[in-house]
Structure 1
Amino acid sequence: TVAKREKAGRGRGGRVVVRSRGGGHKQRLRAIDFMRTTPGPHDVVRIEYDPGRSAHIALIKSRDPTLAQPWSYILACDGLRAGHIVESFRSGIPDGLIEGFTDSPAPTKRSLKLLANSSPAAPQTALAGVPDAQDLASAAASTNLSLGVLRARTLKPGNVLPLRLIPAGTLIHAISLSPVGRASLVRSAGTFGQVVAHDEKGLWTQVRLQSGEVRNIMQRCVATIGKVSNPDWKHRNLGKAGRARWLGRRPHVRGVAMNACDHPHGGGRGKSKGGKHPRSVWGWLTKGRRTRRSSDRDGNKFVVKERPRGIQRNN
């Protein structure tokens, strides 16, 4: 852990960029492993509280004696307890883990293009290599059995798997957007994503996020099985103003209580905002103003279905 330096809502220029921030109890930042690159089994030592996030964190220790640093923190999934074992299969399924199963990496656009441009095999070669129907049936049955054993072995809460090995309908969290990147999606308390479908070409996987948005993510990206811990976070009640001050939240002053020089709603005699539409302190229209740029509304080609808004969300 490292000490957290308080900014009190100030930017790099020293001026306030976020109002109603300041004070609060001293905190230390926990270094969370969002990469999960170390393979092999890890023992969960304990579940801890992290003041820097809404979810709980888990302290794990690797069983590999050759590692210089076997200890690390990860996001605790719902149901994870001390004594459980978690593994990371980010680099794929190791050979020999499941008898009869051989892991093949997901194809890339370049490999599919090279395969499409390659010359077809000669007719006599293709006819000579046609396998028997009974051999095909036995091979398919063996593959399905190995795949079932693999899923029973690896699909456990807290394990990290590539999206290509996660079946549709599975709840996931801590999703990466790059095959070599850190987990960046679905990390808040009680949230989860769901695998919707896999692309026939083996390039993309459709994932439904917590907001209801469905987007394409590369099958070489990874995710953690299960949903994030502490699902009752949304029901919390601070109870008193002092607890908000412990968290670094200062009082929020209403615009109608200010002077005219400090807010568009300020000034006047009594509680009046001058007949204006509700505005922010900077003069922007509030109450439903869109925060996304109009140029980005249809610019993200990875989004298959936009998140529901307004009446759609209530229904």
Structure 2
Amino acid sequence: MLSQRIPLSAVTRGLQRLTVTQPAIRNYATAKPKSALGDSAISADMFSNATTTRGSQSLLLRTYKPRTPGVRHLRRPVNDHLWNGRPFLPLTFPKKGQGKGGRNVHGRVTVRHRGGGAKTRIRTVDFERRRPGPHLVDRIEYDPGRSAHIALVTEQATGQKSYILAAEGLRAGDIVHSYRPGIPQDLLDSMGGIIDPGILAARTAFRGNCLPMHMIPVGTQVFAVGSAANRGAVFCRSAGTSATVVNKNEETRNDGTKIMTGKYVEVRLQSGEVRRVSKNACATIGVASNVHHHYRQLGKAGRSRWLNIRPTVRGVAMNKVDHPHGGGRGKSKSNRNPVTPWGRPTKSGYKTRRTHNINKWVVTPRPRNHGKRRDKRSSKEASPKPKGVRKKASRKGALGTWIMWGLLGNDSYITPAKGSEIPGTNPTQVQSPPILDYKPSRDLGIQGKAPFVQGRYLNGNVARVACLKGLEA
């Protein structure tokens, strides 16, 4: 005979007598913290099917019991501090029109794989932050139009509300300032009327505050970075992104203080690119919120459709009229190199950027292909060869067909560049120098004669590079 089932309500009443202690984690979205469980009853959230898993670097992802196939692989970052209600409607407007389907004003598709999705409202976010004074953070909200979270703030002087990008760790009840219009008079009076960069940074460079670039110390992490004095934030606005101030072109005075002499500040963006921005451009201290956004897993295809993302169809699965790879019998692309739907080569390192149109604001370009070039010459020179290994030189080189790299009583490889030798261990930047003179190669143990290049290291040691012409690898 089957045993009688115990109702869940009876189990809940039995567990109410237990004492559960939880760590004091700040996960609330209001100025008043939640009360600890202590002797109170266990909440109903403990019986939900959502659980959390802790990974490396304190990564919290919420998983779900696979009651349906769509939630088996669903992973979401734990953001219990987000507001659960509706947004502030005066700062929103509905998203509708042909732009939702990836069309332009003429009705043509300009962005593929867009269409459908749930009804959303676009939040009007203040990227300029030109209102001075303290602003109280009312709540942190989810924004369907971006990966980072937004914060609803209220200006304490006028009571005007606005949306700003939330920094990681920003919570309801915090106070943020914007020093873009200038330094407040009360702050200037507290410093004795003298602007000291160190004291000024110690009192203004806090998480969530918006400052001009010339007021931010070197090495500070910022996000929502602007490019010009009359524009808002344009860089590092996605979830978890940040930039680092690397150079401010400062000079030290006789009294030890530093002063900026240039018009621009150099920042290292998330991609590794070092870029110049105006010293009066804006930036927010901290890192953009929702740093674990890229660890999420949607779990099913339907959730992508809810996010206005349409499927991506392969070219070989299309008709010939729709794609250059389409048509034919079976999975065949007609013996053609891979191309885009518009006929441009898409692999084999085909370059699409114009060489004559160089961005003057970029100091150091971002590393591409994981820091490795894809052309044949650089790929062969990517790693230094040990002693005695012959290496094929470029056809444009002046040393002939084969070059031997050797060690002449030194612990570093010979790396000639434009006629002079520089010590180092990375021969990837080698350019063939001109031949200075010739000498019988019997000193190197080679029959016949071979030219060599002679130069000097910085320490005065003589270095030679032999050119072995006509040898086989």
TM-score exceeds 0.5? yes
Shift of 1:313: 6.8
Change (3 A) 1:291 1:148: same
Change (3 A) 1:95 1:102: farther
Alignment of 1:17-36 (within 5 A): 17-36=110-129
Q: Is the 8 A contact 1:47 1:59 kept in 2?
A: yes
Structure 1: distance between partners of 2:154 and 2:186: 24
Structure 1 alignment gaps of length 5 or more: 104-142
Q: 2:154 aligns with which of 58, 61, 67?
A: 61
Change (3 A) 1:62 1:313: farther
Q: Is the 8 A contact 2:232 2:282 kept in 1?
A: no
Match of 2:186, SS? Answer: coil
Q: 1:306 aligns with which of 341, 365, 377?
A: 365
Deviations, residues 180-236 of structure 1 (Å, cap 9, x unaligned) = 211111101100000001113142211101111111112121211001001111112
Name the amino acid aligned to 1:39.
P
Matched, 1:273 2:363: no
Matched, 1:100 2:161: no
Shift of 1:178: 1.4
Shift of 1:18: 2.3
Work out the percentage of aligned pairs sharing the same amino acid.
53
Name the amino acid aligned to 1:58.
A
Shift of 1:28: 0.3
Shift of 1:263: 1.2
Partner of 2:41: none
Partner of 1:293: 354
RMSD value over aligned CA atoms?
1.8
Partner of 1:106: none
Matched, 1:255 2:309: no
Alignment of 1:88-127 (within 5 A): 88-97=178-187, 98-103=190-195
Deviations, residues 22-48 of structure 1 (Å, cap 9, x unaligned) = 111011010101111111111111000
Matched, 1:82 2:172: yes
Partner of 2:285: 225
Shift of 1:289: 4.1
Matched, 1:44 2:137: yes
Q: Is the 8 A contact 2:131 2:181 kept in 1?
A: no
Matched, 1:4 2:115: no
Match of 1:92, SS? Answer: coil
Q: Which moved more, 1:158-167 or 1:13-22?
A: 13-22
Q: TM-score, normalised by structure 1?
A: 0.81
Identify the structure with the greater strand proportion. Answer: 2
Structure 2: distance between partners of 1:70 and 1:258: 53
Partner of 2:106: 13
Q: Which moved more, 1:287-296 or 1:78-87?
A: 287-296
Match of 1:43, SS? Answer: strand
Identify the structure with the greater helix proportion. Answer: 1
Structure ranking higher on relative contact order (CA contacts 8 Å, 6+ apart)? 1
Name the amino acid aligned to 1:148.
G
Structure 2: distance between partners of 1:40 and 1:260: 62
Name the amino acid aligned to 2:93.
V
Shift of 1:99: 1.9
Structure 1: distance between partners of 2:224 and 2:320: 46
Higher radius of gyration, 1 or 2: 2
Aligned residues: 268
Partner of 1:157: 207
Structure 2: distance between partners of 1:222 and 1:56: 19
